[in-house]
Amino acid sequence: MDEGSIQERLLSSKGMDEHNLRRRISMESKKIWRIATPGVISRVSSFGTIVVTQSFIGHISAVDLAGYALVQTLSVRFVNGILVNAFTSNRNKQFKTNLICASQIGMSSATETLCGQAYGAKQYHMMGIYLQRSWIIDLITLLILLPVFIFGTQIFRLLGQAEGIAESAGYISVWFIPFVVSLIFSLTVQMYLQAQQKNLIIAWLSALQFAIHIFCSWLFVYVLDLGLAGAMAALCISSWFLVGGEFVYIFGGWCPDTWKGFSIAATKDLWPVVKLSVSSGLMICLELWYYAILVLLAGYTKDAQVSISAFSICLNINAWIVMIILGLMGAACVRVANELGSGDAKAVRFSIKVIMGTSVTMGIFFWIFCLAFGNKIGYLFTNEEEVAETISRLSVLLAFTVLLGSIFPVLSGVAVGSGLQSKVALINLICFYGIGLPVGIALGYWFNLGVEGIWVGLTGGVLTQTFSLSTLIWRTDWDQEVSKTSARLNQWYLESPENDKHVSGVA
């Protein structure tokens, strides 16, 4: 065979490989976006209700805006992190989203892992059991955490916040209780449906929730002139609309393979689930509480009311954009969990590469967007000139935080899908509290940089966390993770009620 023929064959082979690679990327991208698109819509819409409420309150009263910022960023994040932790541990048990809200997210995150792996292993009936376990654990956890909301005024006084802000925060805290209860069900159900790629219904319900929320906020605040109470009532009504729609979908028979009715099996083996949720929840809590503490620190600067409001608004803008990336995080978790459950390590590696490429591309787009319009965003949330100007000064730092926010959530999703929560929790502890928080305190107070210095510390913590997570995922032996997943699924497997008469349930 002559040299020309050999080169021709090599070029032909290379062309075929490139074609196959493009086809594989296209197929994987379709799988990712089939999962992520409804998740993006639902997360942007659901979190949008919080942002819209903040905007309405910001045009009512500057003091109430600061009070809302404290409760939503501190109390709700704290609790939500713990609760999502419970759902995560539930998921981990099969595998083996603000203080209060943060708690919820942590407990719920385990369900995502467990349900995703159960679905990949075709253990469909276990998904409904994991969902019910998460409800039991979350409700008990929330009951223990309710004093955070009931005694909001006293807590914020003890934390040294101004009297007017503390009183407003205490009033708003009570309004947040029904909202937080709704999160227990909405978050866990979303993870349960997402694992079986049925989250399109969540997207529709969330979009309707957002529309209802805007209408109710306008009606209660401007037409009926109910002020702060009207804004918070609209938030509660729209959040429970979402829960009601989810219940109708599940109980109405649209999940016949995974929902077999309420079962006493859900009350078994709760302690192992609780232990697993600790590591899962700790991973998320450390991250959510980090942001909450930084907002608290902003309350100790010279102009506390302006600093709290501006910092919280920037965090919520960042969080709203990150909600899109969290849709990809959910897809990363589901794809990794599904492929681990099916025993395909190569597919896990390829899926991670495609998801990361997609998220970084989106992060660059929003980075440019924040740089271009950062000096105008503040006026959407407040009429206070000082607050808007402070947000404008933070816009460059906000842009870089958004860019990093396109990377680390997806890496966290990969970790959750593979059950590496305890390692991520350690990384979060070191990066956020060993690096980011001390740097923020030093720059904000010792170097008198105020809220800008605190945000620099925030960005430093996120930067080191992103680098550490990248190293963790890069060094993970996915063949070994496949073996671990198989062992865990077999260990926690229960027979379907249809096949095992000893597992009784209520239809």
Evaluate the CA torsion angle 178, 180, 184, 189 in order and state its sign. positive
Question: What is the maximum alpha-carbon separation in the chain?
Answer: 89
- The residue-averaged pLDDT of 366-386 equals 82
Q: Confidence band (pLDDT; 50, 70, 90) for 274?
A: low
Residue at 207: amino acid letter? A
- pLDDT of 153: 93
Give me the chain's average pLDDT, please: 77
Residue (of 424, 432, 429, 428) closest to 458 by Cα position: 432
Within its chain, how far is the Cα of 189 from the centroid?
14
> What count of residues does the chain have?
507
Say yes or no to pLDDT of 413 above 90: no
Residue pLDDT, tens place only, 6-44: 555 544 555 556 668 888 888 888 877 877 787 788 878
User: Considering just the CA atoms, what is the radius of gyration of the chain in Å?
Assistant: 23
pLDDT bracket for residue 87 (50, 70, 90): very low
Q: Where are the domains of the chain?
A: 37-493
Give the C-alpha separation, 39 to 25, whole Å. Answer: 21
Q: Residue 283: is its pLDDT beyond 70? A: no
* Distance (Å, whole) CA 128 – CA 291: 33
pLDDT of the residue at 247: 94
Sign of CA dihedral 236, 242, 246, 248: positive
Q: Which residue has the higher pLDDT, 120 or 308?
A: 308
Q: Give the pLDDT confidence of 174-210 residue by residue, as tens digits.
A: 999 999 999 889 888 887 887 777 878 888 999 999 9
The two structure tokens encoding residue 24:
């594989």
Q: In which band, very low, low, confident or very high, does the pLDDT at 127 lie, cut at 50, 70 and 90?
A: confident
What mean pLDDT comes out for the span 137-162? 87
pLDDT > 70: percent of the chain: 75
Asked if residues 95 and 320 have their Cβ atoms less than 8 Å apart, the reply is no
**Is the model more confident about 45 or about 414?**
45
Has residue 2 got a pLDDT over 60?
Answer: no
* Separation of alpha carbons 180 and 104, rounded Å: 8
N-terminal to C-terminal alpha carbon distance within the chain: 72
- Rounded Cα gap, residues 485 and 88, in angstroms: 15
Q: What is the pLDDT of residue 90?
A: 42
Share of the chain above pLDDT 90, in %: 16
Per residue in 56-73, pLDDT tens?
998 888 889 888 988 887
Whether the predicted pLDDT of 503 surpasses 60: no
Q: Is the pLDDT score of 137 beyond 70? A: yes
> pLDDT for 458-500, tens place per residue?
888 888 988 888 888 788 777 776 676 666 556 555 555 555 4
Q: Which of 99-108, 177-186, 331-340 ranks highest by mean pLDDT?
A: 177-186
